[in-house]
């Protein structure tokens, strides 16, 4: 039985996240998308998961993306990475470091949008990071009113450790305002980064 996923009006990465969840639960999925970026992202996801992909266009710009899981061989490592993030050698942990409250340099407003998208996407990675480290302006992501505080709390509930630089919290006068994570120190932060199997710094 075909499962339908309506991603119209949803911003990146939500169309991919919802499609991935549907494909993990059903063999046949029909996705509705209303922009070319979502169509291509879903197509790449499906191909990385070994799915057959058929795209048809309707009037009004809506794409119907039909995915059938298990009908194509999964790609080899030479085909490039999928969206699965694996730990390093010998099971060493994946550690994500967020040193700013926005992603990239250039337009600050765009950088905030990208950071929200990045943190939200971490919820869908398998396996998830073992630890997320926040320092410098990155500690602002952990305060109650942050746009990503709910995502960080969900990551904590899933077992991800979130370490927040105590010096940075004091510098930005955020003591008592954290909605996620635990106060940490530079020794613990340096040790976690040095012991990481993979260190991701977006």
pLDDT of residue 86: 41
Q: Does this model's pTM top 0.75? A: no
Strand partners, 199: 95
Tell me how far apart the alpha carbons of residues 29 and 66 are, in angstroms, rounded to a whole number: 6
Q: In the structure, how many helices (H) and strands (E) does the chain have?
A: 6, 9
Residue 189 has phi, psi (to 5 degrees) of -65, -45
How many angstroms separate the CA atoms of 96 and 127, rounded?
13
pLDDT at residue number 81: 34
Architecture of domain 3-76: 2-Layer Sandwich (3.30)
Q: Take residue 134 and report the two structure tokens written for it.
A: 């926040």
**Nearest-CA neighbor of 46 among 6, 16, 9?**
16
Of 170, 166, 162, 201, the C-alpha closest to 187 is: 166
* Every domain range in the chain assigned CATH 3.30.110.40: 3-76
pLDDT in the model for residue 76: 36
CATH code that applies to domain 89-200: 3.40.1260.10
Tens digits of residue pLDDT in 19-78: 988 988 899 999 999 988 888 888 888 888 888 899 999 888 899 999 998 754 444 333
Interatomic CA distance for residues 18 and 16, integer angstroms: 6
Give the residues of the chain that fall short of pLDDT 70: 71-91
195 three-class SS: coil
Residue 79 has what pLDDT?
36
Residue 72, φ and ψ in degrees, nearest 5: -135, 155
Residues of the chain with CATH 3.40.1260.10: 89-200
């Amino acid at each position: 039985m075909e499962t339908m996923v309506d991603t119209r009006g949803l911003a990146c990465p939500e169309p991919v996240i919802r499609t991935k969840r549907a494909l993990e639960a059903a063999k046949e999925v029909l996705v509705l998308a209303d922009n070319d970026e979502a169509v291509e992202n879903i197509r790449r996801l499906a191909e990385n998961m070994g799915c057959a992909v058929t795209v048809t266009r309707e009037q009004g710009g809506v794409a119907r993306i039909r995915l059938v899981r298990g009908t194509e061989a999964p790609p080899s490592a030479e085909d490039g990475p999928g969206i699965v993030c694996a730990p390093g050698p010998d099971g060493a942990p994946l550690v994500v470091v967020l040193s700013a409250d926005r992603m990239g340099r250039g337009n600050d407003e765009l950088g905030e949008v990208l950071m929200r998208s990045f943190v939200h996407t971490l919820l869908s990675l398998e396996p998830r990071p073992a630890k997320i480290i926040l320092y410098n302006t990155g500690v602002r992501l952990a305060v109650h009113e942050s746009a990503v505080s709910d995502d960080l709390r969900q990551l904590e509930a899933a077992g991800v450790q979130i370490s927040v630089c105590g010096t940075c919290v004091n510098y930005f006068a955020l003591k008592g305002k954290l909605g996620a994570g635990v106060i940490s120190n530079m020794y613990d932060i340096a040790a976690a980064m040095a012991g990481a199997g993979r260190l991701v710094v977006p």
